[in-house]
């Protein structure tokens, strides 16, 4: 924005004739406000896109309105703007403590201006350890809804900042992994390494989930049914294939686990569903039957033999 003034002063006087000519020329050339058409001769004015405006018209047309006092911000006043909003410098204040925000950092909440101190006290998180405000822009650590200053987020045992390292929370206290393993972690019965997460217990012994596997196929046994023999754990498939009796009819293993029933006769075994008459396929569970070599028959079909 540039201010201009038209005056009738003359730097030097040559002759009376020249003085009269210049005065006559100045009086004959008009220089008016683009809006109100009043002469700008001897007055201050402002150019807007090369069009001159008197101060009054310029302010009415182009000056911004202050957000606080709702008055026009005059050409001679400092216009402070933020996100298309405008203030007089004397109106640019913190809404909480009324301190001037001119040349100071500030924050906004729902379009309300606040100094950094007031904003922090009102809205910033409090450190879970020292209970002091975590100032905007400073680094903070967060876990399960709580916040810490970076230097306050420390291991409860060694008191060293945890930072971005792995840690374990126990009884509301945080421990870095080395300290947790030394103080609390059980050792896996198989690999003898500390168990920090995902452990299982078997016969009062702790195991890593990945270490507690079937002795046969090495598949993890956590979250599935298993059994044991001679202190070794087996998945059901391996146990049945290795130790279970075979059905005399379908030849697949009879596990007998989980309360499943089977029929046993003269060192032969059958699944309940497989114990049927060889000729008519009638179930013989709970009924009398006859044998003919390797076959079993119901009494009716056995008459033919």
168 domain residue, yes or no: yes
Q: Report which of residues 290 and 189 the model is more confident about.
A: 189
Share of the chain above pLDDT 90, in %: 12
Query: What pLDDT, in 10s, does the model give residues 31-84?
Result: 888 888 888 888 888 888 888 888 888 888 888 889 899 988 888 788 888 888
For range 287-300, the mean pLDDT = 82
Counting Cα atoms < 13 Å in the Cβ hemisphere of 5 gives: 5
Q: How far apart are CA 113 and CA 67, in angstroms?
A: 11
The pLDDT of residue 158 is above 90: yes
Q: How far apart are CA 100 and CA 205, in angstroms?
A: 68
132 domain residue, yes or no: yes
Last residue of a domain, one of 242, 259, 287: 242
The pLDDT of residue 119 is above 90: no
**Do residues 4 and 51 share a domain?**
yes
Task: Give pairs for 216-219: CB < 8 Å, separation 24+.
Answer: 216/241, 216/242
At 156 the pLDDT is: 92
Here the CATH number for the domain that contains residue 220 is 2.10.110.10
235 domain residue, yes or no: yes
126 domain residue, yes or no: yes
Q: Which domain holds residue 203?
A: 188-242
Which neighbouring-strand residues pair with 271?
262
**Do residues 217 and 237 share a domain?**
yes
13 domain residue, yes or no: yes
The pLDDT of residue 154 is above 90: yes
**Do residues 138 and 204 share a domain?**
no
The pLDDT of residue 17 is above 60: no
277 domain residue, yes or no: no
Q: Which alpha helices (H) appear in the chain, and where do they start and end? A: 16-28, 55-62, 116-123, 177-183, 236-243, 299-302
Q: Say if CB 48 and CB 3 are below 8 A apart.
A: no
Query: What pLDDT, in 10s, does the model give residues 85-100?
Result: 999 989 999 988 999 9
In this structure, of 26-40, 227-241, 280-294, the range with the lowest mean pLDDT score is 26-40
Q: Which alpha helices (H) appear in 199-298, and where do they start and end? A: 236-243
The pLDDT of residue 259 is above 70: no
Q: Say if CB 65 and CB 40 are below 8 A apart.
A: no
**Do residues 22 and 76 share a domain?**
yes
Share of the chain above pLDDT 70, in %: 88
At 152 the pLDDT is: 92
């Amino acid at each position: 924005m540039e201010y201009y003034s038209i005056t009738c002063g003359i730097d030097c006087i040559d002759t009376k004739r020249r003085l009269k000519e210049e005065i006559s020329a100045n009086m004959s050339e008009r220089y008016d406000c683009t809006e109100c058409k009043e002469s700008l001769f001897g007055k201050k004015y402002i150019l807007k896109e090369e069009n001159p405006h008197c101060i009054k018209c310029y302010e009415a047309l182009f000056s911004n309105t202050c957000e606080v006092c709702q008055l026009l911000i005059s050409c001679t006043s400092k216009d402070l703007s933020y996100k298309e909003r405008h203030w007089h410098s004397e109106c640019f204040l913190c809404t909480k403590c009324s301190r001037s925000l001119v040349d100071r950092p500030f924050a906004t909440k729902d379009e309300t201006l606040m100094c950094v101190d007031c904003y922090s006290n009102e809205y910033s998180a409090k450190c879970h350890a020292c209970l002091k405000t975590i100032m905007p822009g400073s680094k903070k650590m967060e876990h399960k809804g709580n916040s810490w200053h970076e230097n306050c987020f420390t291991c409860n045992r060694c008191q060293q900042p945890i930072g971005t390292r792995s840690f374990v929370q126990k009884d509301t206290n945080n421990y870095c992994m080395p300290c947790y393993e030394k103080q609390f972690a059980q050792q896996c019965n198989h690999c003898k390494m500390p168990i920090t997460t995902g452990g299982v217990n078997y016969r009062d012994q702790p195991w890593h989930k990945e270490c507690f596997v079937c002795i046969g196929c090495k598949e993890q046994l956590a979250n599935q049914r298993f059994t044991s023999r001679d202190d070794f754990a087996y998945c059901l498939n391996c146990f049945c294939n290795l130790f279970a009796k075979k059905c005399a009819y379908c030849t697949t293993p009879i596990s007998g686990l989980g309360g499943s029933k089977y029929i046993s006769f003269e060192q032969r075994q059958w699944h309940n569903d497989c114990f049927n008459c060889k000729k008519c396929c009638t179930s013989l569970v709970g009924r009398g039957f006859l044998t003919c070599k390797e076959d079993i028959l119901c009494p009716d079909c056995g008459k033919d033999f």
